[in-house]
């Protein structure tokens, strides 16, 4: 997107519409399977743009909350075996226990979303040495996949957290997040970036409990070729 300061006295919404129309024409000539748009809430005209986009042929797909957490000065005790809980490392991206956990966590979701999640996990495989499985009495019940993606700026993220359905509502998501944060801090991370769907209330509550600070929102759209901007 273009920041409103670049428009001068021009109407930012109409300017954005013209720019989008140009961008869609250019991309359409290349024959992509789909055209996606992300709107950052930091834009001064973001709310108006999000409201206008459906009438321009962009269908809303998802809205995310972006967050940040500072690990400086925070101490996190290692997980103990209290309550029958224990934590063990993942044996790599193809670990069969991890794969089964992901399938169980995603049960009931569309097959394409499950495939996308597995592809996303595979894309972070170089960080698999940080990944761990949570067990209850030896049974795998959840997983946490941290990523130390910027060593120069000491930034990390929790890429995925999952808890088997019958173990949800017991605070295990918070336990997994905390363990992932501890592992990242051990490897030198000072700042953690996070994101979740705005509809994912349980995860938003976990972020709030762990003292993450909201940064901005992202709105995702997909262009419908039947419409004209």
Question: What is the CATH architecture assignment of 73-189?
Answer: 3-Layer(aba) Sandwich (3.40)
- Mean pLDDT per 10-residue interval, the chain, length 229 residues: 55 88 91 91 89 94 96 71 84 94 94 93 93 95 93 91 94 94 93 95 95 95 77
pTM: 0.81
Provide the pLDDT for residue 2.
Answer: 45
Domain extent listing, the chain: 4-64+218-223, 73-189
C-alpha 56 chain-centroid distance: 27
Provide the pLDDT for residue 1.
Answer: 47
Q: Residue 195 contacts by C-beta under 8 Å, 6 or more apart in sequence?
A: 64, 65, 66, 67, 218
Dihedral through CA 205, CA 69, CA 190, CA 171, nearest 10? -10
SS (H, E, C) the chain: CCCHHHCCCCCHHHHHHHHHHHHHHHHHHHCCCCCEEEEECCCCCHHHHHHHHHHHCEEEEEEEEEEEEECCCCCCCCCCCHHHEEEEECCCCCCHHHHHHHHHHCCCCCHHHHHHHHHHHHHCHHHHHHCEEEEECCEEEEEEEEEEEECCCCEEEEEEEEECHHHCCCCHHHHHHHHHHHHHHHCCCCEEEEEEECCCHHHHHHHHHCCCEEEEEEEEEEECCCCCC
């Amino acid at each position: 997107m273009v920041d409103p300061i670049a428009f001068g006295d021009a109407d930012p919404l109409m300017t954005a519409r013209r720019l989008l129309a140009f961008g869609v024409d250019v991309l359409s000539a290349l024959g992509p399977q789909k055209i996606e748009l992300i709107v950052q809430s930091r834009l001064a005209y973001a709310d108006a743009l999000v409201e206008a986009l459906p009438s321009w042929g962009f269908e809303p797909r998802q809205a995310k909350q972006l967050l940040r957490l500072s690990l400086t000065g925070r101490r996190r005790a290692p997980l103990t075996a209290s309550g029958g809980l224990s934590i063990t490392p993942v044996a790599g991206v193809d670990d069969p226990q991890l794969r089964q956990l992901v399938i169980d966590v995603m049960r009931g979701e569309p097959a394409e979303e499950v495939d996308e999640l597995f592809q996303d996990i595979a894309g972070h495989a170089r960080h698999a040495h940080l990944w761990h499985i949570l067990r209850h009495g030896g049974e795998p019940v959840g997983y946490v996949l941290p990523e130390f993606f910027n060593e120069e700026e000491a930034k990390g993220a929790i890429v995925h957290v999952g808890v088997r359905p019958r173990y949800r509502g017991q605070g295990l998501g918070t336990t997994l997040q905390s363990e992932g944060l501890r592992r990242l801090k051990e490897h030198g991370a000072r700042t953690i970036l996070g994101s979740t769907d705005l509809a994912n209330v349980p995860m938003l509550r976990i972020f709030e409990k762990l003292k993450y600070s909201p940064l901005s929102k992202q709105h995702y759209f997909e262009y419908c070729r039947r419409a004209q901007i």
